[in-house]
A and B are shown apart, each in its own frame.
Chain A
Amino acid sequence: MKHQRMWIVGLAAAAFATVQAADFVDTNQSRATPEAQGGIVDGKQKRYAGPPFGGVPNDWSEWPGYRDDKPYPAPQQATLPADLKGDADNGRKLYMSRAKAPCTGCHLIRGDDVWPAGNVSTDHQQIGDRYATPEAEAVLYQYIYDSRVINPQSFMPPWGTVGILSPQEIVDIIAFLKTQRGPLPEEKDPARNPNTRPLPENYFGDNLDPTNNAAVVLAEGAIDTWTRQGPKGKSCADCHGEIEKMQGIAAQYPKYFPLYRRVMSMEDLVAWHGADETGLELPSQGAENIHLALLIRMQSNGMPVAVDIESPEAKAAYERGKALYYQRVGQRNHACADCHDADRGGGKFLGGRLLGKKTDGMTRHFPTLRTNFAQIWDMRKRMQWCMTPLGMNYLPADAVEYAEIELYLTSFDNGKPISAPGMRH
Chain B
Amino acid sequence: MATGQVRIRVPDGVKAGDVVTVRVLVTHPMEVLRMEGGKPVEKNYNFIHRMAATYNGKTVFEAETTQAVSQNPFFSFPVKVTEPGKLQIQFEDTEGRSYTGETDIKF
**Partner-B contacts on A (CB < 8 A):** 209-212, 214, 217-218, 220-221, 223-224
Q: Select one of A209, A211, A214, A220 contacting B1, CB under 8 A.
A: A220
CA distance A177 to B62 in the complex (A): 61
CA distance A224 to B3 in the complex (A): 12
The secondary structure that dominates the A interface is: helix
The answer to whether B9 touches A223 (Cβ under 8 A) is: no
The 7 A-B residue pairs with the shortest CB-CB distance in the complex, in nearest-first order: A221-B1, A211-B23, A211-B25, A211-B9, A210-B7, A217-B72, A217-B27
- A291, closest chain B residue (CB): B1
Chain B interface residue bracket vs A: 10 to 19
The number of inter-chain residue pairs (CB within 8 angstroms) is 28
One digit per residue, 1 when the CB lies within 8 angstroms of any chain A CB and 0 when it does not, for chain B 43-77 equals: 00000000000000000000000000000101010
Interface residues of B in 7-37 (CB under 8 A from A): 7-9, 23-25, 27
CA distance A209 to B2 in the complex (A): 17
Q: List 26 A-B contacts (CB under 8 A).
A: A209-B9, A209-B23, A210-B7, A210-B25, A211-B7, A211-B8, A211-B9, A211-B23, A211-B24, A211-B25, A211-B74, A211-B76, A212-B9, A212-B23, A214-B72, A214-B74, A217-B1, A217-B25, A217-B72, A218-B72, A220-B1, A220-B27, A221-B1, A221-B27, A223-B1, A223-B2
The secondary structure that dominates the B interface is: strand
**Partner-A contacts on B (CB < 8 A):** 1-2, 7-9, 23-25, 27, 72, 74, 76
Residues of B within 8 A of A220 (CB): 1, 27
Residues of A within 8 A of B74 (CB): 211, 214
Residues of B within 8 A of A224 (CB): 1
A394 → chain B closest CB, angstroms: 30
- B22, closest chain A residue (CB): A211
20 additional contacts, CB 8 Å, given A211-B24, A217-B1, A220-B27? A209-B23, A210-B25, A211-B7, A211-B8, A211-B9, A211-B23, A211-B25, A211-B76, A212-B23, A214-B72, A214-B74, A217-B27, A217-B72, A218-B72, A220-B1, A221-B1, A221-B27, A223-B1, A223-B2, A224-B1
B92 → chain A closest CB, angstroms: 19
